[in-house]
Chain A
Amino acid sequence: MLDFLLRVFGKDSGSSRNVAKERLRLVLVHDRADVSPQLLDDLKEDLIKVISNYMEIDEKALEVNLDTSDKTVALVANIPVLRMKRTGKRAEKIG
Chain B
Amino acid sequence: MGEVIVITSGKGGVGKTTTTANIGTGLAALGHKVVLVDTDIGLRNLDVVLGLENRIVYDIVDVTHGNCRMKQALIKDKRFEGLHLLPAAQTKDKTAVTPDQMRELCDNLKKEFDYVIIDCPAGIEQGFKNAIAGAERAVVVTTPEVSAVRDADRIIGLLEAAELREPKLIINRLRPLMVKRGDMMSIDDIIDILAVDLLGVVPEDELIVVTTNKGEPAVLDGNCRAGQAYRNMARRIAGEDVPLMDLEANDGFVSKLKKLIGFK
Direct contact of A and B (CB under 8 A): yes
**B150 near A17: Cβ-Cβ < 8 Å:** no
Residue ID in chain A nearest B195 by CB atoms? A70
Given contacts A3-B252, A28-B153, A32-B157, contact A21 B182 (CB under 8 A): no
Chain A facing B: main interface SS: helix
A-B contact pairs, 18 of them (CB 8 A): A9-B182, A15-B182, A16-B184, A17-B183, A17-B189, A18-B182, A20-B185, A20-B189, A23-B146, A24-B150, A25-B193, A27-B146, A27-B150, A28-B150, A28-B153, A28-B193, A31-B150, A31-B154
Q: Write out, one digit per residue, whether chain A residues 19-37 have a CB within 8 A of any chain B CB (1) or not (0).
A: 0110111011001100000
Q: Which chain A residues have a beta carbon within 8 Å of chain B's beta carbons?
A: 3, 6-7, 9-12, 15-18, 20-21, 23-25, 27-28, 31-32
Which among A6, A16, A23, A32 is the interface contact of B153 at CB below 8 angstroms?
A: A32
**B146 near A24: Cβ-Cβ < 8 Å:** yes
**B183 near A31: Cβ-Cβ < 8 Å:** no
**A10 near B180: Cβ-Cβ < 8 Å:** yes
Question: B129: shortest Cβ distance to chain A, in Å?
Answer: 19
Q: With A and B bound together, what is the CA distance between A68 and B95 in angstroms?
A: 37
Chain B facing A: main interface SS: helix
Which among B146, B154, B157, B180 is the interface contact of A20 at CB below 8 angstroms?
A: B146
Q: With A and B bound together, what is the CA distance between A28 and B189 in angstroms?
A: 14
Q: With A and B bound together, what is the CA distance between A31 and B182 in angstroms?
A: 26
B residues contacting the other copy or chain, number (CB 8 A) = 18
Q: With A and B bound together, what is the CA distance between A25 and B157 in angstroms?
A: 15
**A17 near B184: Cβ-Cβ < 8 Å:** yes
Q: Write out, one digit per residue, whether chain B residues 183-194 have a CB within 8 A of any chain A CB (1) or not (0).
A: 111100100010
**A12 near B182: Cβ-Cβ < 8 Å:** yes
Residue ID in chain A nearest B178 by CB atoms? A17
Question: B79: shortest Cβ distance to chain A, in Å?
Answer: 39
Q: With A and B bound together, what is the CA distance between A20 and B186 in angstroms?
A: 11
Given contacts A6-B180, A6-B181, A10-B180, contact A21 B150 (CB under 8 A): no
**A17 near B179: Cβ-Cβ < 8 Å:** yes
Q: Which 6 pairs across A and B sit closest by C-beta, in order of nearness?
A: A15-B182, A10-B182, A17-B182, A16-B183, A20-B146, A21-B189
B146: chain A residues at CB < 8 Å are: 20, 23-24, 27
Q: With A and B bound together, what is the CA distance between A3 and B153 in angstroms?
A: 32
Given contacts A7-B252, A25-B193, A27-B146, contact A17 B153 (CB under 8 A): no
